[in-house]
């Protein structure tokens, strides 16, 4: 089966200098892949240079010059940027010219545009953002919502659990992924009304493998396969975790530079530290999915480099191959008939 992915080549902190090398690398890896680069044709052609014929056949350019700025408001982008690389990439999914799209553009604008163009699946009130997080286990934990919704109700959180279960089951090949609800403690009496109501909905559902409340540190222990939370909470948890990792790396580097002896040891230890940081390299976890839409939209981190962006494309390919939106629809239809 051939997979066609549209890439928003103009967005993110870097645009074409990151997107084009990532595209070429992935085309070499996947022989049945066709990529559509959406952006300024002249600059794109220049960046592509002369490519071997077998790549050339699986690569096309969709010309457009408009770009959504990283700090542009979602409503402004929606009204005024109808020819932006972001909007056109999503249009290609809507028109079934692409099976998925990937953008490193601003999250708010991407979500608003994708929701407007593609619409939500039946039974889904609000799309959510999901990503994989590194854990002490072999499998990552998938966590949602990461910031699309800042005031989710119990019903919304329940829908996130359904979507998260389906995606995790598909991409990790797990039959009944375990689901945990993020709270301030594991005991039933802990938390606010919203999590208590959500917990009841999840306990009563026959299709969710719900294990109960989990806490912030459980995300990285890998206590469950799917972590469900409101977007406000998920966004803060994700960024606190990023901040902690940067803090640790800051003091580690500082310590290894303190003396000639520690610098020498630091150099010798470098390959080991590299191997270690590979395990938790955030680039390998790049590629968040906008779940609950009638189409596959992957958000790459705005500051992602070529390696990071290539992982976002891999996530898109995986979700196309596993047919994630149709699986979610199927699961929701089952829910409505039980």
Contacts to a second copy by CB under 8 A:
71, 73, 134-136, 147, 150-151, 182, 184, 187, 189, 191-193, 215-221, 229, 231-233, 235-248, 250-252, 254-256, 258, 262, 265-266, 268-269, 272-273, 275-276, 279-280
**Residue with Cβ nearer a second copy (78 or 166):** 78
CB neighbour class for 275 (10 Å; exposed up to 12, middle 13-18, buried from 19): exposed
Decide if 281 contacts 304 (C-beta within 8 A): no
| DSSP SS3 for 144 | strand
**Residue with Cβ nearer a second copy (74 or 325):** 74
Q: Cα separation of 45 and 40, whole Å?
A: 9
**Residue with Cβ nearer a second copy (201 or 245):** 245
241 token code pair: 């975790």
Rounded least distance, CB 230 to a second copy, Å: 9
Rounded least distance, CB 328 to a second copy, Å: 25
**Residue with Cβ nearer a second copy (7 or 238):** 238
259 token code pair: 């003396």
147 token code pair: 């910031």
Rounded least distance, CB 189 to a second copy, Å: 6
Q: Cα separation of 296 and 47, whole Å?
A: 27
Q: Cα separation of 12 and 300, whole Å?
A: 8
Rounded least distance, CB 129 to a second copy, Å: 11
**Residue with Cβ nearer a second copy (21 or 108):** 108
Rounded least distance, CB 250 to a second copy, Å: 5
Decide if 20 contacts 27 (C-beta within 8 A): no
């Amino acid at each position: 089966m051939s997979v066609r992915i549209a890439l928003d080549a103009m967005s993110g902190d870097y645009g074409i200098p990151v997107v084009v090398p990532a595209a070429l690398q992935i085309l070499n890896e996947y022989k049945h892949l066709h990529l559509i680069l959406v952006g300024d044709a002249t600059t794109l052609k220049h960046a592509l240079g002369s490519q071997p014929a077998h790549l050339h056949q699986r690569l096309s350019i969709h010309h457009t010059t408009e770009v959504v700025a990283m700090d542009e408001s979602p409503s402004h982008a929606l009204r005024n940027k109808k020819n932006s690389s972001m909007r056109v990439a999503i249009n290609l999914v809507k028109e079934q010219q692409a099976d998925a799209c990937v953008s490193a553009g601003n999250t708010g604008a991407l979500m608003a545009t994708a929701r407007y163009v593609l619409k939500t699946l039946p039974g889904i009130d609000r799309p959510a953002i999901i990503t994989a997080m590194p854990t002490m286990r072999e499998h990552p934990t998938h966590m949602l919502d990461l910031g699309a919704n800042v005031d989710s109700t119990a019903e919304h959180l329940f829908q996130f659990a359904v979507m998260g279960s389906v995606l995790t089951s598909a991409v990790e090949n797990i039959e009944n992924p375990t689901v945990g609800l993020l709270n301030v403690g594991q005991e039933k009496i802990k938390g606010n009304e919203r999590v208590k109501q959500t917990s009841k909905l999840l306990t009563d559902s026959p299709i969710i493998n719900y294990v109960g409340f989990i806490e912030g540190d459980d995300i990285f222990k890998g206590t469950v396969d799917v972590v469900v939370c409101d977007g406000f909470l998920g966004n803060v948890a994700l960024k606190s975790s990023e901040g902690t990792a940067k803090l640790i790396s800051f003091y580690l580097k500082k310590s290894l530079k303190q003396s000639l002896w520690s610098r020498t040891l630091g150099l010798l230890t470098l390959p080991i530290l590299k191997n270690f940081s590979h395990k938790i390299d955030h680039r390998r976890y790049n590629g968040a999915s906008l779940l609950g839409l009638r189409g596959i939209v992957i958000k790459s981190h705005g500051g992602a480099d070529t390696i990071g962006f290539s992982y976002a494309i891999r996530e898109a390919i995986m979700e196309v191959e596993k047919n994630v939106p149709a699986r979610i629809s199927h699961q929701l239809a089952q829910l409505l008939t039980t």
